[in-house]
Copies of this chain bind each other. A is one copy, B any other.
């Protein structure tokens, strides 16, 4: 077998604080509104991808969590691979013009091996991390000169919110105005170091199968919700500026209120769709009431809930308030998996309303306690074996 060139990259999950919901162009994944997210630490949640290429490989192949998938059957995967190869071709042409030495990797087939360190089905933005890792690893393998912003345009075509996982810290996805989508990309609002004390606690709800997939849900909303237009034309543009400002100013209370209101409004337009779409369940509602109770007892907004297209609650808070937030939740979820070495003990302020904690206790059996993190990174690990297939 000829030499195998490979590059391994990890990429993070991101959880939006201003929600992406609605496509104005389905094949290009162009959104109806801009969005903002926080990138989460990769030690808890990440995708890792090894991209490899060799003149010996006979076709583009992809393995996802140990199972081979047919790239040709996924338009989104094919697009990402095609666009990355196109950039490599441009790069090779440039090197040729400059009379530099090149290896014609663009002419070789790719083997891509990707894994998450968390269950895909948990509804934790696995496709965002996955497509970001795919783009990062192939871009690394191809030594592409493109910036993360430029690469985010490709990741976006794989999975909309994947574009935001190309950056660490606090990230905006500018919806852009161009028809070809070339300006619909992620930009950094602030790096992790700007506001490093942001924490995230994820309550994984004992979920049934997801009610409606995000892609079809979005289309239903765009087509049928009579309140949706008001959201994207009036509400989100204002919130987009306010959210970025709250991050730049490290103004947690504004950040939190905007986050909660926007999560609620996203689920409101889902409910205003026809037929209605539900992602929140009784466990989600109990999580909302618990966060409200935590804030009430703290005397100010120290925690913010947000929900993506599923019942899992993500709670943002600052390190200085960790005990106030973790204490009551841990008292309800003492037996949940995932607390690991967290030293913050269960504790319940006097008079804390118990009824929602009881619902939480019955509905959540897994947590992730994590924090704001960095963008994609090169990894020394490799997922590929000497035979060009996933290591056993």
Taking each of A264, A273, A292, which has the highest tally of chain B beta carbons within 10 Å of its own beta carbon?
A264
Q: 8 Å CB contacts to B: which residues of A223-258?
A: 226-227, 229-231, 234-235, 257
Q: Majority SS of interface residues in chain A?
A: helix
Taking each of A208, A231, A269, A271, which has the highest tally of chain B beta carbons within 10 Å of its own beta carbon?
A271
Q: Is the CB of A272 within 8 A of B276?
A: no
Q: Is the CB of B264 within 8 A of A271?
A: yes
Q: Residue A145 at the B interface, CB < 8 A?
A: no
Q: How far is the CA of A260 from the CA of B355 in the complex (A)?
A: 31
Chain B residues with CB below 8 A from A235, complex form: 226-227
Across the two chains, which residue of chain B brings its CB closest to A273?
B264
Interface string of A275-301 (1 = CB under 8 A from B): 110100110010010001000000000
Q: Residue A268 at the B interface, CB < 8 A?
A: yes
Q: How far is the CA of A269 from the CA of B271 in the complex (A)?
A: 9
Q: Is the CB of B267 within 8 A of A271?
A: yes
Chain B residues with CB below 8 A from A281, complex form: 282, 285
Q: 8 Å CB contacts to B: which residues of A346-364?
A: 355
Number of interface residues of A (CB under 8 A): 29
Q: How far is the CA of A235 from the CA of B224 in the complex (A)?
A: 12
A271 touching B271 in the complex, CB below 8 Å, given contacts A227-B230, A227-B265, A265-B226: yes
Q: How far is the CA of A267 from the CA of B268 in the complex (A)?
A: 8
Q: How far is the CA of A271 from the CA of B276 in the complex (A)?
A: 13
Taking each of A261, A272, A273, A285, which has the highest tally of chain B beta carbons within 10 Å of its own beta carbon?
A272
Taking each of A231, A234, A260, A285, which has the highest tally of chain B beta carbons within 10 Å of its own beta carbon?
A285
Q: Residue A5 at the B interface, CB < 8 A?
A: no
Taking each of A260, A261, A281, which has the highest tally of chain B beta carbons within 10 Å of its own beta carbon?
A261
Q: How far is the CA of A296 from the CA of B275 in the complex (A)?
A: 12
Chain B residues with CB below 8 A from A288, complex form: 275-276
Q: How far is the CA of A271 from the CA of B208 in the complex (A)?
A: 22
Chain B residues with CB below 8 A from A260, complex form: 274
Tell me which of B227, B229, B275 contacts A268 (CB under 8 A).
B227
Q: How far is the CA of A147 from the CA of B260 in the complex (A)?
A: 48
Tell me which of B226, B229, B285 contacts A278 (CB under 8 A).
B285
Q: Is the CB of B275 within 8 A of A292?
A: yes
A272 touching B282 in the complex, CB below 8 Å, given contacts A227-B231, A230-B227, A231-B227: no
Across the two chains, which residue of chain B brings its CB closest to A295?
B275
Q: How far is the CA of A387 from the CA of B285 in the complex (A)?
A: 51
Q: How far is the CA of A278 from the CA of B235 in the complex (A)?
A: 21
Q: How far is the CA of A128 from the CA of B260 in the complex (A)?
A: 34
A272 touching B268 in the complex, CB below 8 Å, given contacts A227-B235, A235-B227: yes
Across the two chains, which residue of chain B brings its CB closest to A270?
B268
Q: Is the CB of A261 within 8 A of B274?
A: yes
Chain B residues with CB below 8 A from A278, complex form: 285
Across the two chains, which residue of chain B brings its CB closest to A227?
B227
Chain B residues with CB below 8 A from A271, complex form: 264-265, 267-268, 271
Q: How far is the CA of A275 from the CA of B268 in the complex (A)?
A: 13
Known: A226-B235, A275-B288. 6 other contacts (CB 8 A): A208-B355, A226-B231, A264-B272, A264-B273, A264-B274, A268-B271
Closest 7 CB pairs of A and B: A268-B272, A230-B230, A268-B268, A268-B271, A227-B227, A264-B276, A282-B282
The chain A residues found within 8 Å of chain B, CB to CB, are 208, 226-227, 229-231, 234-235, 257, 260-261, 264-265, 267-269, 271-276, 278, 281-282, 285, 288, 292, 355
10 CB contacts below 8 A, A to B, read A226-B231, A226-B234, A227-B227, A230-B230, A264-B276, A268-B269, A268-B271, A268-B272, A281-B282, A281-B285
